Amino acid sequence: MPTDERLPAEPTAVPPASERPSQRPSQRRSSARTAVVWRVLRDLLVERGAEGARVLDVGGGTGGFAVRLAALGADVVVVDPSPDALAALGRRAAEESVSARVHGVQGDLAGLADLVEPGSVDLVVCHGVLAVVDDPGSAWVALADVLPAGGLLSLVAGQHHAAVVARAMAGHLQQARDLLESPPAPPRRFTAEELRADGEAAGFRVHSLHAVRVFADLVPSALLDAEPGAADALLALEEAVAERPEYLPLAQQIHMVATRA
């Protein structure tokens, strides 16, 4: 694992298929895409003390992570620009009996300073948001400002090299060449080195970088549907390579864990 300062060891157990809510290929693939991030995020929160932890989920949408964090005992504020997503968040929280611990606020990362008191949050979750902000540098500063010293950041961003490969494999060769030579404006993608440098420049201490979705987008859905044990094997494989730095350039996404210095 590429680590500046190692956090407590993280268990790597993958839940069996019988413990997951659906066996449809699309949902099996979705589970493989998010399993690494959720495992790390869950264990960090439990290690720090989940009960009553103050969590800010920026761009958390319908609550895929927020509701699960609330189920662990955290108080979660989801900031998202979509009223429809926030309505779905409310319904999901009610279904899981965590409405008292999940609060939706309409807004975005650019206006975070007007919504959240500086240094008032224990954990910031920011997954997939850097891709669409106008000024990533300012976004990093905004994330740092809501955290106290030692506060945790869980950040997921698209990885540049894998995007080039994906376009080439889909037959979009000119798009792959264009992306290789001149990375576009939003949606932005980043290399591991860029994420580390940007985080450190904003006052974060980077603890780990995880490779996410190395294989999950490549395995055919027909295989997950027809091959016994394929879903569990895919999850196990994603877990096995997540902390190996040589797989970071192959990952569709990178998950960063950092603390405010």
Question: What pLDDT digit, counting tens, does each position of 203-261 carry?
Answer: 999 999 999 999 988 888 888 778 888 888 999 999 999 999 999 999 999 999 999 99
Degrees to nearest 5, angle at CA 38 with 90 and 105: 30
- What pLDDT does 56 receive? 98
Q: What is the third-level CATH fold of 17-158+189-260?
A: Rossmann fold (3.40.50)
Q: Shortest CA distance to 213 belongs to which of 165, 174, 247, 175?
A: 247
Q: Is the pTM of this model over 0.95?
A: no
- What pLDDT was estimated at residue 218? 86
Residues 126 and 130: their CA atoms lie apart, in Å, by: 8
Whole-angstrom distance, CA of residue 18 vs CA of residue 39: 18
The 204-212 sheet, strands edge to edge? 102-106, 75-80, 54-58, 123-127, 152-158, 253-260, 204-212
- Positive or negative torsion for Cα 103, 213, 242, 175: negative
End-to-end CA distance of the chain: 20
**If pLDDT is split at 50, 70 and 90, which confidence band does 33 have?**
confident
Q: Which two tokens stand for residue 243?
A: 């902390």
Sign, CA dihedral 72-65-226-236, equals negative
pLDDT band at 14 (very low <50, low <70, confident <90, very high): very low
pLDDT in tens, 119-150: 999 999 999 999 999 899 999 999 999 999 99
Give me the residue spans of the domains in the chain: 17-158+189-260
Contact between 159 and 189 (Cβ < 8 Å): yes
State how far the Cα of 13 lies from the Cα of 36, in Å rounded to an integer.
Answer: 10
Cα 227 to Cα 111, 220, 223, distances in angstroms = 47, 11, 5
